[in-house]
Structure formats: structure tokens, C-alpha cells
Copies of this chain bind each other. A is one copy, B any other.
Amino acid sequence: MSPVDVQPPSPFTVDDYLARGRRVVAAAAEAGLAGVLVTPGPDLVWLTGYQPTAITERLTVLVLAPDQEPTLLVPALERPDAEAAEGVRGMRVLDWADATDPYRAATPLLRADGTYGVSDSAWALHLLGLQGALPRTTYRSLTHGLPMMRAVKGADELARLTVAGAAADAAYGEIVKVRFAGRRETEVAADLAGLLRHFGHEQVDFTVVGSGPNGANPHHEAGERVIQQGDAVVLDFGGLMFGYGSDTTRTVCVGEPTQQIRDVHEIVRLAQEAGVAAALPGARCQDVDRAARAVITGAGYGKEFIHRTGHGIGVTTHEPPYMVEGEEQPLVPGMCFSVEPGIYLAGRFGVRIEDIVTVTETGALRLNNTDHGLAVVE
């Protein structure tokens, strides 16, 4: 079991970060926004490489707007940490001290009558503070105002996602060799986490092991249930490698599967194929959902497919674009997202199959490439 043989990618440079910021400003102007307010979290990591030690009640915000230098406002005592980040080196840094009003410090950076995009995960505390300080300024979440801000990946990002996907695949290649029957879900989950780290992940975000009836709860993680002979087991796992996400799901069977498990698995496999096939440049996000859902509905399990078909992935494992009914965003080469239909039979078992794909000029390319058949484990 040798580690995946990968060279660490070159770190992003201050120029990479500044170029992203310029693209965001241009896209914001095109979307009718006066600018973008970015708070700590994935947007800020992507635009600066800066991740505060903790996300707290103290306001940190990056303001990107036309005709204005990119400006990061930080708590005074976090200034040295912020200035140490690669992307911040190319930006103006302002600070505010405890016992002063951070929203007043932010107002000179904003137009009093502008509409700004704001990070989805910005705290309500801060949004309400800004709304109070500038009553005529309005805000839109970036998911609604600029949903595709991080959606189209550059080659340097795609390379990282590809490596992360290959590492997750290597982990799957090993997990099917371990013993399932008679062990607790949490034990197999711990094996999975260890494998992800072994193959290069610096962070494990989730290791779902949903055996038997637990597999019918799509958000079950892993519990104390002892896995039984004959169980279908949903394995859904991922994390970050070189700062970019992996997320893949396979459903395996402990010993010989029943005909029902075989049938349901095959329907999900075909639905996943259909979803991937629909991920063509110019198609809409909802088309991917519709294609996968049509297969499952046609087979009579429409009501048992209780979630959307996919989500984007990048510096997080869950981000726009969403493959969901009503999402009319056209697919663009460079977008990366999951295609993960499932069927959940309450009280019995569940089946889900998931790959990350990237849209190319000619169609979707899978970043997960382990076998889609129903693996039999011991």
C-alpha cells in the first residue's frame, strides 16, 4: 500500500491571489454589484490564503471594489497574522482596536447606496452591524449575487482536485480489502480516515459508513452499529489535500447481495451515468439533476431519491454550483462538482454512487475512477 506518488503543487503566489481578486471585481461589476465583502472562510482563503486561527465575533472583512485597492480590515491584534498571508502581501491592510466600532471603520470602504455581494457564511452579527452603520447600502449573498465566483477552476486548482480525487480512489481501493462483518461502523470509518491521510489528505472532513438501515439516512455518519453479513454499506468520504477537496461514494455489500440490493444498485449506477452524461458545457445545472432523477423515477423509486444530485467542490467540499431543480446556471468548462444520486429505503438500506466530475469542452471528465459495480466485501 504505497502512498500516491505526487509532487506537492507550487504554492499560490501573491499574483495568483491578486488575479483572482481582479476577476471577482470584474464579475461583480457585470452582476450589478458595487463590490464584494469577503469574511473569513473559504472565500477569503481563496482570495488571500488567509485563514484566521478562529472565526470569532471580531470583524475581519476584505473589500473588493472597482477603483479601489483591495483592502482587508482586521482586528488590530490579528494584524500580524493577516499580514503573514501570501495574498495579503499585495493588499492594503487596515485595523480596528477593541472598544472601537468595527462597522464605522468599514463604512469609508463602502458606497452608501451600493449593493454588495457578501460571503454566505458572514456572521449575522456583522451583516446587521453593517446594515445599521449604512442603512441605504444593500447586500446579496454571494450564492445569489455571484454564485459562480469560485465555480470555474483554474488549471492550478483542477490539478489539486485531480490529485485529491486520485487519493480518495486509492483509499477506496484499500477499504474494500478490510473486514466489515462484525465490526462497528465507527471502526471502518476510522480505517477510511487513516487511508485518506495515508494517501496524502491533510484534513478528513467526513467518513460516512452507513450499514443496513443506517444507509437509508443520507446524512448518517458512522455509529456503533455492528455491520452484519448481507448488509449494503454506503461509504461516502472526503477531505482536503493541498487545500482542495475530495468527495466520493461507493456502496458495497457484505457477502452476496440480495436481488433487491443488486437491482437498486444498478438503477443508481445508471442514474449516475446519466447525470455525468448530461454534464455538458452549456447544459444547465438542473439538467444534471433531471437526467439522474429521470432514471430513478422511471424505475419507480422517485420518492426514495430525497436529495439533489450534486454540489460544487473546491477549497470546500460543498459549494456552488448545485445540481438541483430550479438551478438554471449553465455549465462552463472548469466547473467541478459531484454527481451523486441515491435511493433510500427507510428501515432497510440505501445506495448512493458519487464521483466528482469536471466539465470540459466536450463533456464531463470524472475525477473519481474506481469501479462503479457493486463490490462484495467480507
Binding site for B on A (CB under 8 A): 53-57, 76-78, 80-81, 97-99, 118-129, 139-141, 143-144, 205-206, 217-221, 306-308, 318, 324-326
For this complex, 10 residue pairs linking A to B, each with C-beta atoms less than 8 Å apart, are: A54-B318, A57-B143, A57-B318, A77-B219, A78-B219, A80-B219, A81-B220, A97-B306, A122-B124, A123-B123
Is B122 within 8 A of A54, CB to CB? no
Which residue on B lies nearest to A56, using beta carbons? B318
Is A219 within 8 A of B143, CB to CB? no
Most buried by B among A99, A308, A324: A99
Is B124 within 8 A of A206, CB to CB? no
A151 to chain B, nearest CB (A): 14
A69 to chain B, nearest CB (A): 24
Most buried by B among A123, A126, A308, A326: A123
Assembly of this chain: how many copies?
2
Q: DSSP majority for the A interface?
A: loop
CA of A141 to CA of B129, assembled, Å = 9
Is B125 within 8 A of A121, CB to CB? yes
Is A324 within 8 A of B141, CB to CB? no
Is B57 within 8 A of A218, CB to CB? no
Taking CB atoms, residues of chain B closer than 8 Å to A126 are: 124
A353 to chain B, nearest CB (A): 17
Taking CB atoms, residues of chain B closer than 8 Å to A127 are: 124, 127-128
Is A306 within 8 A of B99, CB to CB? no
Pick the residue among B81, B99, B119, B306 that contacts A77 (CB under 8 A): B306
Given contacts A57-B120, A80-B217, 9 further A-B contacts (CB under 8 A): A53-B206, A76-B306, A77-B306, A119-B124, A122-B123, A123-B123, A125-B143, A128-B140, A129-B141
Taking CB atoms, residues of chain B closer than 8 Å to A129 are: 141
Is A128 within 8 A of B139, CB to CB? yes
Taking CB atoms, residues of chain B closer than 8 Å to A118 are: 124, 128
Taking CB atoms, residues of chain B closer than 8 Å to A53 are: 206, 219, 221
Which residue on B lies nearest to A214, using beta carbons? B80
